Structure 1
Amino acid sequence: MIDAHHFRAFALHLGFSADGQEVSDVLHKSYGENGEVIRIDFSKQSIDYPKLHGFKVNRADTCNFSSSENAVVLECVHRLLEKGYKPQHIELEPEWKLGHGGKSGRADILVRDQQGAALLIIECKTAGREFDKAWKDTLEDGAQLISYVEQEKATQFICLYASEFDAKAGQVKTSQRIISVKDNPQILLDQPKAQSFKEATNAKERFKAWKDTYRQEFTEVGIFEGNIQPYQIGKSKYTFADDTRPLAATDIKGKYHDFRVILRKHNVSRRENAFEVLVNLFVCKIVDEMEHPDDLRFYWKGIAYDNYYDLVDRLQALYKTGIHTPLSSHDHIPNRPTV
């Protein structure tokens, strides 16, 4: 949790600085070619976003230290601006009116594309329990995230986002669940009776499309990574250098649990079958990293850029290569497992 006590250290970590003073009540950071500035005033406990450059703030209580969630919003906006999103395309706490003056909920961040249409809606939560609960609610009925799309139907992606500052380690840890709410034509072609996002008339039908047609597909990358361009959300290409990392001992228990959940979900109950599936996937992954390091085939690219049949075709091709080519014949075999 990023609280008021750690706010200065948090801001300094993000690259905020004072005007030539070691200690100052005001820290600031410039972004972009036009020098858009965010200022943090510690005497007033306020955050001043670049409204003169078109950045829109709908509620003043978003711009203070009163809530740890406001720090998450600040960190997320900081990353958006650093990535190259323009301030005039970012809006905090948009409010939508329904019917005869009624109000819907408020999203934390709305990002528009270069033409001004809604592109991405981000709901920010503090890391841990609040984030986990929000994601659980989303899986159950769509919760806030899906309902926001009903107000901005042009929206292509929604994201549940959390961050926390580890003052001792001096690093910010983030979590994100990115959902594509635009249709995949190939999947709809294969399932002509399936509920689509385009034909959904309310939040309930939109959730049905995500749950039944797209199997509650989400990704954890696709907005802020180094090889992602601004306004181009999602990853259509994965590389060994950018998208893999060594599997640490602390990761093993979590991956083991995830794999067991997948096996139960798909009724793979016998240990022999489970072991065979796991080994076959290992073969595919090793072959992929050796044969296609600059364009990995093993990864599911997300519902916006991939389909199930193409993924199976890629895995079968990798497996075929693996069983016909001795791994020892390759010059480079990864000496540590990666994720």
Structure 2
Amino acid sequence: MSINKDLLKEQLLILGFTPVDGEVNVYSRKLIFNNKVVDTVTVDFNAKSAGQINWGNPKTVGRLTSSDLSKPEYMVQLYWYIRLVESGYSPENIAIEQPVQLGHKDGFIDLVVFTPDDKPFMALDAKNYGTEANKYTKALKASQGQVASYYRFSTNLEYIGVISAKIDHNSVEPSSYIVSTTQWKKYGSPEEYTKTLENNLTLPNVFRIAPNAVPYNEKNYLLKPTDLIDLNEDTASQMFHGFLTILRKHGISDKTNAFNKVLNLFIAKIVDEFNTPDDKALSFQNYMGGGE
């Protein structure tokens, strides 16, 4: 696959990287939390045509396979590493490409967050935005597939998720689906959980990584209007088809009435967004505790 350096450099600029003074084809990004620089990441296109990533000072880098930008998911991994650090997770508590034994095969987890007392807390797998991320998310919801298998790394893991991001048009549209491992611990493993009567229940997205969310806190941050992102054609299509799937799954025949009720919910959401000041929490949102 040919490397489009111009596109990679453009995406790095969107992620907040800047050319290093006195260097050619070298870009850097200071990682800031609580108004303090906690680390610096650099990408050097002289060392490697796809850009050699120097991650700064993470806990470990298990392999260098993703330490360049030769694949789109590596840019996603880089974005989420930055987001984690700037959301309060210290670099020394984040492992990149963490080795894991998956049956008879060796695997690597893109990002593993450890607690300050060095216990595995969260495992994250970076996927291309759109079809690929949706595929792995669907499997994870059902406690199946590659990402769910990362639970074998450590039963101390509290959360496992699929992360992605769409980077273009001078903007970043992140997406994440992070589930709790509580049910897996209850039954011993994801595989055992899927054998129970509860296996028809999909696991919800329960964890949020953002600068305005408390690190390691499972309680959702109350969203404000400034936290919202624009609805685009891709996400709108996903919502539409997701709604149709729900109707089919539950055998709902009166689709017209169902769509009317959903439309009413959308109108209520829009009214809430327009009437809520930027510094106040939105009233119309899924809330699991926390916030002020």
TM-score (norm 2): 0.78
Distance 1:291 1:148, change over 3 A: same
Aligned partners of 2:270, 2:17: CA distance in 1, in Å?
Answer: 42
Aligned partners of 1:148, 1:247: CA distance in 2, in Å?
Answer: 31
Task: Kindly state the Cα deviation for residue 163 of structure 1 after the two structures are TM-superposed.
Answer: 2.2
Give the unaligned 5+ runs of structure 1: 183-195, 307-339
Match of 1:49 among 46, 55, 63: 55
Task: Kindly state the Cα deviation for residue 164 of structure 1 after the two structures are TM-superposed.
Answer: 3.4
Q: 1:231 is matched with which residue?
A: 216
Aligned partners of 2:235, 2:246: CA distance in 1, in Å?
Answer: 17
1:134 paired to 2:136: yes
8 Å Cα contact 2:184/2:190 also seen in 1: no
1:83 paired to 2:87: yes
Question: 1:199 aligns to what SS in structure 2?
Answer: helix
Aligned partners of 1:207, 1:77: CA distance in 2, in Å?
Answer: 31
Q: 1:212 is matched with which residue?
A: 198
Question: 1:269 aligns to what SS in structure 2?
Answer: coil
Match of 1:39 among 32, 42, 53: 42
Distance 1:69 1:287, change over 3 A: closer
Distance 1:152 1:207, change over 3 A: farther
Give the unaligned 5+ runs of structure 2: none
Instruction: Please state which structure has a larger fraction of its residues in strand.
Output: 2
- Report the RMSD for the aligned CA atoms in angstroms: 3.7
Q: 1:11 is matched with which residue?
A: 12
Question: 1:93 aligns to what SS in structure 2?
Answer: strand
8 Å Cα contact 1:122/1:158 also seen in 2: yes
Aligned partners of 1:153, 1:110: CA distance in 2, in Å?
Answer: 13
Counterpart of 1:122, as a letter, is L
Q: 1:170 is matched with which residue?
A: 170
8 Å Cα contact 1:176/1:220 also seen in 2: no
Aligned partners of 1:31, 1:130: CA distance in 2, in Å?
Answer: 28
Instruction: Please state which structure has a larger fraction of its residues in helix.
Output: 1
Counterpart of 1:261, as a letter, is T
Q: 1:299 is matched with which residue?
A: 285
Q: 1:264 is matched with which residue?
A: 248
Q: How much identity, in percent, do the aligned residues show?
A: 26
Task: Kindly state the Cα deviation for residue 73 of structure 1 after the two structures are TM-superposed.
Answer: 1.3
Task: Kindly state the Cα deviation for residue 24 of structure 1 after the two structures are TM-superposed.
Answer: 1.6
TM-score (norm 1): 0.68
Distance 1:4 1:49, change over 3 A: farther
1:220-243: CA deviations, max 9, x gaps? 87112x43123335515344x245
Aligned partners of 2:153, 2:60: CA distance in 1, in Å?
Answer: 18
1:43-78: CA deviations, max 9, x gaps? 112111123xx5310102221233332222111112
Task: Please tell me whether Structure 1 or Structure 2 has the larger radius of gyration of its CA atoms.
Answer: 1
